């Protein structure tokens, strides 16, 4: 039934409960099985794509509609009652009726604290630029970025320069070749020469003499020689696959990360486990991979579903707008939909 037909099922009672009040009597609607079912269908259609945890119903009509709607949505139901009707600690709110005032109450623990989460794509990308943002402020103070490849022979302007493979942030880093780089464009590892693990770096690559060489012994002394240092480290990484190198470096907490191809990312088990990469089944296309929700909320898991087929939900949308099955069939016969 459409909305106008359902509205016609409600009876008006004048001067009830007091003179001057036009009371909307829904008992005539409730006793009509098809009309009552249609009301709940309309309400459920409005929220069928939302994740509804509980439906809150206000005494007493809200109990009738809310309970049925909660059942349809497979959600919980929370009653809001008049003062003194609920047994545990409550939150109360006074409200005004057309013919008086009253107080409603809900249990304090009936629903959890809700919040809306804003996660703009630009915000997420900018978060990855936080090191460069710090570098920009550092450049404004010092006029030079010693861990950047432009140092010591290049010039710096008023903005952080393009850095190529340099990590910035005061921590020298570079992409290094690994075993198989001649034929595999992804046989690379990112390597950061952090000062706290410098001793371990020298030990792992077999250049322990650097520890006493004034050109390499201190972070300040190493800055003019970074490309030479990374060249020596690369001679070591080229004897290992990127995963072998990472496994050895991790034992010493030396910061590094393999450069992964899209094939490796798609097949990475940890990304599947966390829902970062998910498999979706499409009736026409078959199974395919896509990215999941990057924001993981413990009590609000996200289900990634396929896109709808053309016209797949036309009937549901039309019903939500109040069209009857007969009207929808007529529109389809006329090729309007």
Catalytic center residues: 61, 98
Going by C-alpha positions, the residue among 270, 274, 269 that lies closest to residue 298 is: 274
Residues 6+ apart with CB under 8 A from 52: 73, 75
H or E element in which residue 290 lies: strand 286-291
Residues 6+ apart with CB under 8 A from 202: 208, 209, 210, 211
Torsion of CA 211, 213, 217, 218, to 10 degrees: 180
254's tokens: 């030396």
| Sign, CA torsion 65/66/67/71 | positive
Report d(CA 204, CA 198) in Å as an integer. Answer: 10
8 Å CB contact between 222 and 172: yes
Partners of 100 in the β-ladder: 97
Q: How many residues does the chain have?
A: 337
Torsion of CA 210, 214, 215, 219, to 10 degrees: 90
Report d(CA 157, CA 140) in Å as an integer. Answer: 10
Establish how many alpha carbons lie within 13 A of residue 303's alpha carbon, considering only the half-sphere containing its beta carbon: 7
Partners of 256 in the β-ladder: 191
Would you call 136 helix, strand, or coil by DSSP?
Answer: helix
Q: Which residues of 231-260 are buried (b: 16+ CB within 10 A; e: fewer)?
A: eebbebbbebbbeebbeebeeeebbbebee
């Amino acid at each position: 039934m459409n909305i106008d037909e359902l509205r016609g099922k409600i009876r008006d009672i004048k001067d009830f409960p007091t003179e001057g009040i036009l009371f909307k009597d829904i008992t005539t609607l409730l006793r009509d099985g098809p009309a009552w079912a249609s009301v709940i269908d309309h309400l459920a259609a409005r929220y069928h794509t939302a994740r509804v945890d509980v439906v809150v119903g206000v005494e007493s009509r809200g109990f009738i509609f809310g309970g049925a709607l909660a059942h349809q949505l497979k959600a919980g139901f929370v009653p809001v009652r008049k003062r003194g009707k609920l047994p545990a600690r409550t939150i109360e709110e006074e409200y005004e009726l057309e013919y008086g005032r009253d107080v409603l109450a809900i249990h304090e623990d009936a629903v959890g604290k809700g919040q809306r989460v804003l996660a703009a794509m630009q915000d997420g990308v900018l978060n990855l630029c936080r090191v460069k943002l710090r570098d920009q402020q550092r450049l404004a103070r010092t006029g030079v970025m010693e861990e950047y490849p432009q140092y010591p022979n290049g010039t710096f302007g008023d903005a952080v320069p393009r850095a190529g493979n340099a990590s910035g942030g005061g921590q020298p880093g570079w992409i290094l070749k690994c075993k198989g780089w001649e034929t595999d464009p992804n046989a690379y590892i990112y390597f950061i020469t952090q000062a706290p693990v410098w001793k371990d770096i020298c030990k792992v690559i077999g250049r322990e003499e650097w520890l006493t060489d004034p050109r390499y012994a201190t972070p300040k002394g190493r800055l003019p020689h970074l490309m030479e240092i990374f060249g020596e480290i690369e001679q070591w990484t080229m004897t290992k696959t990127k995963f072998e190198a990472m496994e050895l470096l991790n034992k010493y907490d030396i910061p590094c990360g393999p450069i992964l191809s899209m094939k490796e990312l798609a097949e990475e088990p940890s990304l599947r486990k966390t829902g970062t990469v998910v498999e979706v089944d499409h009736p026409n296309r078959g199974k395919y991979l896509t990215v999941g929700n990057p924001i993981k909320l413990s009590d609000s898991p996200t289900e990634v579903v396929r896109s709808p087929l053309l016209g797949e939900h036309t009937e549901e949308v039309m019903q939500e707008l109040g069209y009857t099955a007969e009207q929808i069939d007529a529109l389809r016969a006329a090729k309007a939909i």
